[in-house]
């Protein structure tokens, strides 16, 4: 009888724990946005995206596109943009640069390379902890490529 009661208690406890973990939900988009703005009021990350990501990945051009209005096309180290996505962070999607060439367009030298320029940006990462049935998000700074530059090896 004691074994049966102990087994029932263990099963009930396990069921309660399972339901307890299911109740944890993501905070609303608005509350995450407000938290990030509160923690980093100067954050430009939450504005309208100023760069449009590519639908398909671009390739290294043979020469500089002097007729383009876009600085990334006129650069000797051209770049474009793609989406950096992480479902466990807010914002989940961030636009980041990628270099189109290994070297530099105007240089025939092997001594020049195209390299990302990174900026640390604030984001919120989801923790496994729950408070008031909502996941807790913690502030972190992550490097995001902003553009590409040409430099000597």
| Rounded Cα gap, residues 22 and 115, in angstroms | 44
Which pLDDT belongs to residue 9?
A: 59
- Which H, E and C letters describe 18-42, residue by residue? HHHHHCCECCCHHHHHHHHHHHCCC
Where do runs of H (alpha helix) occur along the chain? 2-22, 29-39, 71-74
| Rounded Cα gap, residues 74 and 114, in angstroms | 14
Token output for 122: 């604030």
pLDDT single digits (tens) 6-33: 555 566 666 555 544 458 999 999 999 9
**Domain definitions of the chain by residue range:** 26-152
| Rounded Cα gap, residues 98 and 147, in angstroms | 7
User: For residue 142, how many other CB atoms are within 10 A of its CB?
Assistant: 15
What's the topology of domain 26-152? 2.10.90
Which pLDDT belongs to residue 53?
A: 87
Nearest to 79 by CA among 50, 110, 104, 48: 104
pLDDT single digits (tens) 51-110: 788 888 899 998 988 999 999 999 999 999 999 999 999 999 999 999 999 999 876 777
Token output for 63: 């020469």
| Rounded Cα gap, residues 78 and 60, in angstroms | 8
Which phi and psi (to 5°) does residue 58 adopt? -85, 165
């Amino acid at each position: 009888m004691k074994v049966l009661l102990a087994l029932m208690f263990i099963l009930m406890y396990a069921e309660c724990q399972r339901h307890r973990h299911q109740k944890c939900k993501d905070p609303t988009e608005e509350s995450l946005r407000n938290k990030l703005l509160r923690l980093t009021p100067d954050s430009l990350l939450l504005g309208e995206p100023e760069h449009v990501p590519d639908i398909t990945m671009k390739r290294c051009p043979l020469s500089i596109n002097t007729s383009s209005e876009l600085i990334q096309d006129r650069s000797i180290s051209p770049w474009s943009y793609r989406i950096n996505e992480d479902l466990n962070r807010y914002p989940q999607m961030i636009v980041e640069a990628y270099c189109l060439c290994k070297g530099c367009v105007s240089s025939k030298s092997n001594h020049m390379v195209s390299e990302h320029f990174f900026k640390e940006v604030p984001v919120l990462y989801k923790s496994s902890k729950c408070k008031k049935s909502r996941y807790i998000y913690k502030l972190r700074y992550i490097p995001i490529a902003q553009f590409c530059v040409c430099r000597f090896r």
